[in-house]
Structure 1
């Protein structure tokens, strides 16, 4: 039983990382109707920025304090993501208002390749580490319930708590604030939103900035756990099944979809993998996403679109 719970907990923690990347997809699609293939590149640039500025800033200012260096690096990296959002809106999105979804999708592919290339130019192509002081040592819990207790990774637990707080804040933002409601209105109909005075360009900058901050948090957690390297941009592919399961328009759905996939991957690899020769963890998420596309294409919490003629 303890081994099962340890595997389950590990799956939940992996799922939270998938969820954070999937959340960026949902935020931008929710507010602009754009399926953002550049989200993985945004995570990469954010992680590179955090990794490099946390080293450069102490060197420039002549101090050696981990917490202060990370705080300043986070602020600078958040500024980088905001500048990126402004540039994307002014150079790309404002010229593609009311264009076909395919056109917008191809634009995000171009943005992704540009971000990967510019990230390599600005920050280099080495493998970097992100040290934000997250605990690395495992810990045993529930000693009185299970013999020997359950082994958990405190870094994963910390990352899960941070992710949960971020998701709760974003859910409130979309449901309660006037800006959140404006974001949903823009997603429904660009022209209608403009006709009632909602500034489309401003809304797009806001949502891409928020998605950039989510990418920054995901990049910090991912970089702290695995290091920052350019293969991080391919994390987009890992997040696609997440948004298919949860629904492209649901913030909670992105989280639940990520958790389901994380748990499913771990449990299937541990308990079914030995029977079929292993490798289930590689394709499990995509097979599950295919099943959903066949029988429930809007996902668990997505809005079912009905076209009336």
Structure 2
């Protein structure tokens, strides 16, 4: 039982990290109705900014405190993501208002390659560490319940708590604030939202800023675990089954879909992998996503689209 719980907890922690990346996709889609392929590049760019500024700022300002250096680096990296969001709206999205969805999709692909090149030009292409002080040593839980206890990584627990708080805050933002309701109105119909006075350009800046902060948090956590490298953009591919499962328009769906994918990957690899030679963890999420596309394409919490003719 203890081993099963270790596997279960490991899947839940991995699922929370997938959910953080998936949140960026959901936020952009809710506000613009376009699937943002640039989210992986945003995670990488944000992580690179955090990693490099955490090294540069203490040198520039003569700061010896690692905590203060990390706080300042996070603020500067967040500022970079705000500027990036403003530039994307000013230079790209503003000129594509009321265009077809495929046009906006291609625009996000162009933003992806631009961010990849810009990040390498500004911050370099080496592997950079991020040390925000999260404990990495594992701990034993429930030692009095199970023999030997359950081994859990402290860093995964902290990451899961941060992700849960972020998801809760975003859910409240979309449901309880006037800006959140405006974001949902823009997602339903750009022209109708403009006709009632909702400033589409400002809304897009806000949602790209929020998606940028989400990408920054995800990048810091992934960078802390794996180091910041350009393969980090592939994390976005791991989030695709999550949003298919949870639904493209649901913030809670992103988190629940991530948990299901994370747990399913770990359990299937541990218990079914030995029967088929392993490797189930690589393709499990995509097969599950394919099943949902066949039988419930809107996902668990997505809105069913009905076209009347």
Q: TM-score, normalised by structure 1?
A: 0.99
1:147 Cα deviation after fit: 0.7
In 2: Cα distance, 1:64 partner to 1:122 partner: 25
Measured after TM superposition, the shift of residue 214 of structure 1 is: 0.2
Q: 1:76: which partner in 2?
A: 76
Matched, 1:178 2:195: no
Q: Secondary structure at the match of 2:232?
A: helix
The 3-state SS of whatever aligns with 2:98 is: coil
Partner residue in 2 for 1:195? 195
**Take 1:225 and 1:232, find their aligned partners in 2: how far apart are those partners?**
11
Give the CA deviation at 1:48: 0.3
The alpha carbon displacement at 1:163 in A equals: 0.4
Shift of 1:234: 1.3
After TM superposition, where is structure 1 displaced by more than 3 Å over at least 4 residues in a row?
Answer: none
1:35 aligns with 2:35: yes
1:124 aligns with 2:105: no
Counterparts of 1:1-309 in structure 2 under 5 Å?
Answer: 1-309=1-309
> Over aligned residues, Cα RMSD in angstroms?
0.5
- Please, which runs of 5 or more residues in structure 2 have no aligned partner? none
Structure 2 distance, partners of 1:295, 1:76, is: 45
SS of the counterpart of 1:107? helix
- Following superposition, the deviation at residue 112 of structure 1 comes to 0.3
* Structure 1 gap ranges (5+): none
TM-score by length of 2: 0.99
Q: Distance in 1 between matches of 2:258 and 2:100?
A: 29
| C-alpha deviation, 1:308, in angstroms | 1.1
Q: How many residues align?
A: 309
Q: Counterparts of 2:58 and 2:244 in 1: how far apart (Å)?
A: 42
Distance 2:210 2:231 in 1: 23
Instruction: Show CA shifts across 1:74-119 (max 9, x none).
Output: 1000000000000100111011111111111111000000000000
Q: Distance in 2 between matches of 1:114 and 1:64?
A: 35
DSSP 3-state at the match of 1:12: helix
